[in-house]
Structures are given as structure tokens and as C-alpha cells.
Amino acid sequence: MATTEYPALERTPPRFKLELAAALSGVIVYTCANGFMTGGLGVAGRQLGLGDVEVGLILGLGAFVGVIAAPGWGYASELWSRRKLMLLAVPMVALGPAIMVVVTGQFVMLSAAVAGIILGAARLIQAVFGAALIPVAQGYVADITQPSQRVRGMGGLSAAISFGTLSGSALLWLTGRLGATSGFAIISALGILACLIVLAYLPRSRPRPALPREETTLPLADIWPYLMITLVGFTCYTTVPPIFALRLMDRFGMDGGTATAQTGLVLTVGVVAVCLAQVLITLWNFKNPRLMLRTGSVGIFVGLAMLLFARDILAMCVSMIVIGFAVGFLAPAVLGAISLIGGRGAQGKIGGINMAARGLGSAIGPVLGTTLYQANHDAPIWGSLALVMGVFLLTFISGDTRAAAS
């Protein structure tokens, strides 16, 4: 029987906040792991004897598998209990980093080839089950927000995603000199904690009322421009970070530990800016997703141009602040727009297909970035500049959702 997430008892404000925190806890752990791996796996891979492109393939393959899994999870969230799906997914998201602890800590002596295979398998586990968490959380947020508040509500979800990425980048910075093993261990422990929070506070489901077909149909013809914006935007967003530490080592002569720590610093200030923008969106009730997308894409272009000419860590941090603040407008705008277009019984499906586009972009980005890096150390930034121009152009063919939000 189809289910939705409603508690058996009437919600009180404190209980409501606990339920929302439980729904978002797995998302935070999942994106924390992604943020940490994006900057830290390159150096850890080199220490194990893996090549830069091999590490890019491990990161990209995991994201690509999420492309396949996410739509299925989205459909499942409209049919089965979202609580049970989270209780299945969150422990597996913790398992992936736990396996990486064993490999990167070299508790077992492995050849570079075997270590690469096991790291790839751990990444796949983390990615397949992590792909469930954002669509399930998106459906939950859509259930509890009115259309006029939908962009604002999705700003809260996006802020949770960004906070997780921020936590991963900060963890990379703090553990840079200790090695990736300590960071993966902390992420795994956080996953266990998130599982306990979901078990304790996420409400059990009750039967969903029957809905007309138009409320449950995936409106692909209407949302495809926004899906393309997600695809191109995340390709752009994930092209540069995987080569950041490598660029600091090869161009600026830093050792591996220093490069990892400095990469963590730069990525952290960028994600702080993302979080700040999304907190502002949550506090202010923006209702024009297309304007948000155009403003954000122009800001990203300016920030990337600044990064291209940055010659020290301070300049890189300033560039990432500009990029991060601009990026903060993109995800809430897309999530809010597609949620407004879709019916009440299609929110999980929409979340799943958008997560697939996000995953495909995240799969292409690291491979594109590491491949371009072999040709020229600045080529990944030039590629990202071209991609963000594509995002800007796509906003002119996306549908206007202001009427649905009013």
C-alpha cells in the first residue's frame, strides 16, 4: 500500500523540529562523505599507488551508479514507508567510509590494484544507498510545506545538503595532516548516530489518500529544462574540486598533507558561502526560480574567472566565496521549481529523477576534471566556465512557476 510520512500523534513544534532533523540527518552524513572524498581521496589514492585518473574514476563511478539508483528510490518513496527506506539506507552510507578506513589506514597490506577495487566497491555502497536519502527527504519536505513556501522549504533542504558538504570540507581541513583514515572513521561514526536519530524520531507512516492520476504522474515534459540545469550545473560544480589539491602540489609545490589541508580550507569557505546563501533563501521567501538561476550562474562565472587568476590561498578563498554564494541560489531554485510543477503523489519521483541528473553531473565532473588536468592545469577551470554559460542559457527555456507558487 502507498504510504506517506505522518506521525500517529499531532505534531508539536519541538517534535516537528526533531522529525525534520531526523529526515535530514542521513542527507547530512551522505553529503559530508561526498565532500570529504572529493578533496581527500586524491591524496589518499596517491599514497596507495593509484593514479589521478583512477581516483577520478572511483569518484565518478560512484556518482554514476547513483544515477541508476536514484529514480528507483524516488518511486519507492511514493509506495513504501520513507522511514523504513531511511533505516535501510543510512547504515549502508556509514558502511562505505568504514571500509575505506581499513584500506587507507593500510590495516591490511594490499596491492595498489586490489586497494583500488575495494575503494571502488566502498564508494559504490555509499553511493547506491546514499542516492535514496535526498529524494526521500525532498518528498518529506514537500509534504509539510505549502506551495507559496515551497522554494523556502527546499532552501532548508539545500542548506542541509550544503551543511553536510561543508562538514566534509571542514573535516578534510582539520584532518589533513592526520590522513584520510581519521576522516573516514569520523564519517562512519556520524552515520551510526544518524541511524539512531532516524530510528528514534522519524514518524511511522499511515496510508496515503487516493490521488488522481495527474497528481502522481511524473511531469517530465515540463521539468526537463530544470533537470538539464541540474546536470550541467553539477558537472560544472564537480569538475574543479577533485584536482584542487593536485594543482596545489604540482603548480605551487606543496606537499601532500599541506595541499590537502589547504584544499579543505578553500572548499570550506566556499561551502560556508553556499550555506549562507541558502539560509537567506530559507529566511526570505523567494518566489522566482528563474531569476535565482540567472543570478547564480552569472555569479559562478565571475568567481571561476577570479579563481583562474588567483595566485595565493587568500585569492582562492575569495574566489570560492563568490562561487559558493552564487551556487547557493541554484539548488533551491531547481528543487522548488520542479516540486511546484509536480503533483502531491509525484514528489519522490521528481526528487529521484533530479537526483539522477545530479548524480550524472557528479559522475562526469571528476572524470572531466582529472582528464582535462592531464592536458593543462587550468583546463578544468576553463571547462567549468563553458558549462556555467550553458546553465545561464537554459534558464531562458525553463518554465515559469510563479503562478503555482502564489
| 301: amino acid identity, one letter | F
Ranges 19-28, 92-101, 150-159, 346-355: which has the least confidence: 150-159
pTM of the model: 0.71
For residues 97-117, average pLDDT: 85
- Average per-residue pLDDT for the chain: 82
Contact criterion met (CB below 8 Å) for 371 and 43: no
Distant-in-sequence, close-in-space partners of 166: CB < 8 Å, separation ≥ 6: 35, 268, 271, 272, 274, 275
Residue pLDDT, tens place only, 109-161:
788 888 888 998 999 999 899 988 988 888 777 777 777 777 777 777 888 88
Ranges 2-6, 96-100, 287-291, 349-353: which has the least confidence: 2-6
C-alpha cell at 72: 528507483
Return the number of other C-beta atoms located less than 10 Å from residue 164's C-beta.
27
- The confidence score (pLDDT) of residue 212 equals 67
* Residue 224: CA count within 13 A, CB half-sphere: 3
Of 348, 340, 360, 339, the residue nearest 133 (C-alpha): 348
Q: What is the CATH architecture assignment of 13-206+219-405? A: Up-down Bundle (1.20)
Residue pLDDT, tens place only, 224-259:
899 999 999 989 988 888 888 888 888 777 877 788
189 pLDDT higher than 90: yes
- The confidence score (pLDDT) of residue 364 equals 86
Look at 405 and 388; give whichever has higher pLDDT.
Answer: 388
Look at 4 and 388; give whichever has higher pLDDT.
Answer: 388
- Opening angle at CA 165, ends 16 and 107, nearest 5: 115
Q: What percent of the chain has pLDDT over 70?
A: 90
Residue pLDDT, tens place only, 270-318:
878 888 888 887 777 676 788 889 999 999 999 999 988 888 889 889 9
- The confidence score (pLDDT) of residue 13 equals 58
Dist. CA 209–CA 251, nearest whole Å = 60
Look at 352 and 7; give whichever has higher pLDDT.
Answer: 352
Q: Return the domain boundaries, the chain.
A: 13-206+219-405
Most confidently predicted of 27-41, 50-64, 90-104: 90-104
Dist. CA 240–CA 230, nearest whole Å = 17
Look at 31 and 405; give whichever has higher pLDDT.
Answer: 31
For residues 176-201, average pLDDT: 89
User: Would you give the distance in Å from CA 12 to the centre of its chain?
Assistant: 30
Confidence of residue 99 (pLDDT cuts 50, 70, 90): very high
107 pLDDT higher than 50: yes
Per DSSP, helices labelled H in 217-288 are: 220-237, 241-252, 256-283
Dist. CA 347–CA 152, nearest whole Å = 16
Dist. CA 138–CA 74, nearest whole Å = 9
Confidence of residue 209 (pLDDT cuts 50, 70, 90): low
* Residue 162: CA count within 13 A, CB half-sphere: 29
